[in-house]
Amino acid sequence: MINLKELIAQTIYDEALGLEIADIEAMIEIPGDEKMGDYAFPCFRLAKVMRKAPQMIAADIAERIGSAEIFEKVEQVNAYVNMFINKSVFETEVIREVIAQGAEYGRTDVGNGKTVIVEYSSPNIAKPFHIGHIRSTVIGNAIYKLYDATGYNVVRINHLGDYGTQFGKMIVAYRKWGNEADLVKEPIKTLLSYYTKFHEEAEKDPSLDDEARETFARLEAGEPEEMQLWEKFREYSLAEFNRVYDMLDISFDSYAGESFFSDKMPAIVQEMRDKELLVESQGAHIVDLEPYGMTPAVILKSDGSSLYATRDIAAAIYRKNTYDFEKCIYVVASQQNLHFKQWKKVLDLMGYKWEEDCIHVPFGLVSLEEGTMSTRKGRVVFLEDVLNNAVAKTKEIMLEKNADTPELDEIAKEVGIGAVIFQELSNNRIKDYVFSWDKVLNFDGETGPYVQYTHARASSVLRNATPEELARINEGDFDASYITGDSAYSLAKLIYRIPEVIQDAAEKYEPSILTRHLVDIAQSFNKFYHDEHILVDNEDEKVAKLALVVAAKTAISNCLAILGVKSPERM
């Protein structure tokens, strides 16, 4: 794709300016008001070198570059050179590039094959996969896709919460109140009921907590009975989780959870001892972080069992040794901000300066309209129920609109699940929000279904094209001078920016940047659709307009794919 800023910089370049082409490119601005041009070049900085008023310098540059083919018009306004791009030349370049690249449009090789790890989703086994997990799951999946689209080799890790004292609680609860038949029938809901009952009973009998800690210590020591129950809980949980992942079309390269590092922690703990970092405190072993403004990082509890920090340190060292990552990105709730600062500081004190490449990407929390979710109290909204309800609601809406298609069930699934994903990725990830069925299942406004419908509309238009017309478009045989209206030009500019937007969203770990841009594209396409009569009698005009429709359809589909949302051909 043509780099407009670079081309403009090359056009402006003159030895007398005392600037290199890269310097000129960096100075080029995009005016806030489109009436002032597509690009602007400020000349204030040149006054001292050229010993001229900035306004005079701008006038000289405008006169010198005004006849370049890339420009429709060049004006001097005060100390600025305002440049209007030749719409026909620009649109031809954009449309041909999109059509030539197809599903690859928007991708770049910025990452140059370097390895990035993205850790996301990471639910606790034996606990519900609830609506709160959707944030890490879909934000993490989008970040993986953004980095994949920018040329990185991405390793997707689901760091399962399959270790810790809670499994001591679960085992104790199962032994006291559980039975195999209920567990087989509804594994997660049954385990949740045991976990809830444990906490209810522990409030009356605190000795249960001691029993749970002792049970986890035996599990960590590899006692056969505890291991057998733990493996059973893990197997049942993964089967339930994978059913939801299949609905979301999400997969992972590794399910190495906390338990995977159990045999790697002793060496890490010994390394801390050798480096004189461990201090005994009330029977536990800690790393004192008070000099760095933080509470201590507890490495071993008084009973010798490990904690989250111990396992995260072991995991980070293992991943660096195994993958030699450029970045290791952790998509984890903002509640864990201190936890990440603590164990990263321990890595730093151990001498691992690459800890700076371990990036915590926090996100806001989900609460229910009636209050905060609590697994201990059994107050959760199952993610699978949310997705199934979204699909059912979508089908209901489509039937109300008299949708007549043999793919009704499949389209309802794509749109319903897409609505949930798109809503999650629409707002800045750091914001907290209240889960509301009405908002999730609202199909009006700047939503996933709106963007999907725009894609389906473009597909419908193209179904009216003849094979000969589509062949001309694929060969680049069209005259873009037929589509230089404002709505067509605005659409082409938004499509042109997609690679830059994808890169920006990746660098900021912020999928909503792409989501918002995609809504802009959908709105712009619909304006073009309403402003222009596409299927006109003039064959050359028709082919030119259809070519822009192909580019828009491809752009929308590619961006939706990065967000993890399907692009139905019909709705």
pLDDT tens for each residue of 106-150: 999 999 999 999 999 999 887 778 888 999 999 999 999 999 999
pLDDT score for 546:
98
The active-site residue out of 127, 344, 517, 542 is: 127
Mean pLDDT of 197-204: 92
Tell me the three state secondary structure of residue 366. Answer: strand
Q: Do 298 and 284 form a contact (C-beta atoms < 8 A)?
A: yes
Residue 391 makes CB contacts below 8 A (sequence gap 6+) with: 412, 413, 416, 417
360 is catalytic: no
- Looking at per-residue pLDDT, the higher value among 98 and 484 belongs to 98
Identify the CA nearest to 252 among candidates 340, 122, 425.
122
pLDDT for residue 368 is more than 70: no
Does residue 206 register a pLDDT over 80? Answer: yes
* Catalytic residue check, 517: no
What is the DSSP annotation of 376-424? TTTB--BHHHHHHHHHHHHHHHHHHTT---TTHHHHHHHHHHHHHHHHH
The C-alpha atoms of residue 163 and residue 230 are separated, in whole angstroms, by 9
* CA 398 to mean position of chain CA atoms: 29
Look at 37 and 406; give whichever has higher pLDDT.
37
Dist CA 398 CA 127 (whole Å): 34
- DSSP secondary-structure letter at 18? T
| Residue 301: predicted pLDDT | 87
Region 411-426: mean pLDDT is: 94
Q: If you count them, how many residues does the chain have?
A: 571
Tell me the β-bridge partners of 361. 331
How far is Cα 236 from Cα 170, in angstroms, rounded to an integer?
14
Q: Say which of 5, 52, 73, 133 is annotated catalytic.
A: 133
CA–CA dist 264, 294 (Å, integer)? 26
Sign of CA dihedral 210, 216, 222, 227: positive
278 vs 365, residue with greater confidence: 278
Q: Which of 261, 356, 351 is nearest to 307 (CA)?
A: 261
Of 20-24, 58-62, 214-218, 488-492, which range is least confident? Answer: 214-218
Q: What is the mean pLDDT of residues 157-186?
A: 89
Domains recognised in the chain with CATH numbers: 4-85 (3.30.1360.70), 115-271+300-368 (3.40.50.620), 403-563 (1.10.730.10)
pLDDT at residue number 517: 97
Count each helix (H run) and each strand (E run) in the chain, helices first: 23, 12
Question: To 5 degrees, how large is the angle CA 305–CA 307–CA 311?
Answer: 110
| Cα–Cα distance for residue pair 239/417, rounded to 1 Å | 20
406 Cβ neighbours under 8 A, 6+ residues apart: none
* Average pLDDT score over the chain: 92
* Chain centroid to CA 391: 22
Question: Lowest-confidence range among 31-45, 52-66, 186-200?
Answer: 186-200
Q: Which residues have CB under 8 Å from 487's CB, separation 6+?
A: 524, 527, 528, 531, 532
List pLDDT tens digits, range 48-76. Answer: 889 999 999 999 999 999 999 999 999 99
For the record, the structure tokens of 397 come out as: 């809406």
Query: What does the pLDDT read at residue 240?
Result: 85
CA 219/CA 205 separation, integer angstroms? 22
- pLDDT range class, residue 271, cuts 50, 70, 90: very high
Say if residue 61 is exposed, middle or buried (CB neighbours under 10 Å; 0-12, 13-18, 19+): buried
Radius of gyration of the chain measured on its C-alpha atoms? 29
Backbone phi, psi, residue 211, to 5°: -60, -40
Instruction: Quote the percentage of the chain above a pLDDT of 90.
Output: 75
Is 199 catalytic? The answer is: no
Task: Say whether pLDDT at 369 is over 90.
Answer: no
Q: Which amino acid is at 28?
A: I
Written as six digits, the tokens of 400 are: 């109300």
Q: Is residue 30 very low, low, confident or very high in pLDDT (cuts 50, 70, 90)?
A: very high
Give the residue among 162, 122, 500, 146 at the shortest CA–CA distance from 327: 146
Q: What is the pLDDT of residue 437?
A: 67
Average pLDDT on 334-353 reads 96
pLDDT score at 222: 86
Tokens of 561: 């794919």
Residues 277-297 have a mean pLDDT of 94
Non-local CB neighbours of 537 within 8 Å, separated by 6+ positions: none
Q: Are 512 and 426 in contact (CB under 8 A)?
A: yes
pLDDT value at residue 371: 57
Give the max Cα distance, the chain: 89
DSSP-derived pairing of the beta strands 153-157 and 278-281: unpaired
pLDDT reading at 556 higher than 60: yes
Question: Which 3 state secondary structure label does DSSP give 40?
Answer: strand
- pLDDT bracket for residue 192 (50, 70, 90): confident
Q: Does pLDDT of 495 surpass 80? A: yes
400, burial (CB in 10 Å: exposed 0-12, middle 13-18, buried 19+): exposed
Q: Rounded distance, CA 436 to CA 452, Å?
A: 22
Model confidence at 252: pLDDT above 60? yes
Task: Please check the confidence at residue 405 and state whether its pLDDT lies above 70.
Answer: yes
d(CA 571, CA 553): 14
Q: Which of 87, 130, 327, 413 is catalytic?
A: 130
Q: Poorest-confidence range of 282-286, 305-309, 323-327, 393-397? A: 305-309
**pLDDT at 306 (0 to 100):** 80
Mean pLDDT computed over 288-301:
94
Q: Which of 494, 371, 386 is closest to 441 using CA atoms?
A: 386
Model pLDDT, residue 433: 81
- Ordered strands of the 327-331 beta sheet: 153-157, 115-119, 327-331, 358-361
Residue type, 162: D
CA distances from 116 to 144, 355, 373, 382, 507 (A): 9, 14, 32, 31, 12
Distance CA 524, CA 420 (A): 23
Rounded to an integer, what is the distance from CA 46 to the centroid of its chain?
Answer: 42
**pTM across the whole model:** 0.90
- Which of these ranges, 221-230, 430-439, 498-507, 557-566, has the smallest mean pLDDT? 430-439
Determine the pLDDT at residue 195.
Answer: 86
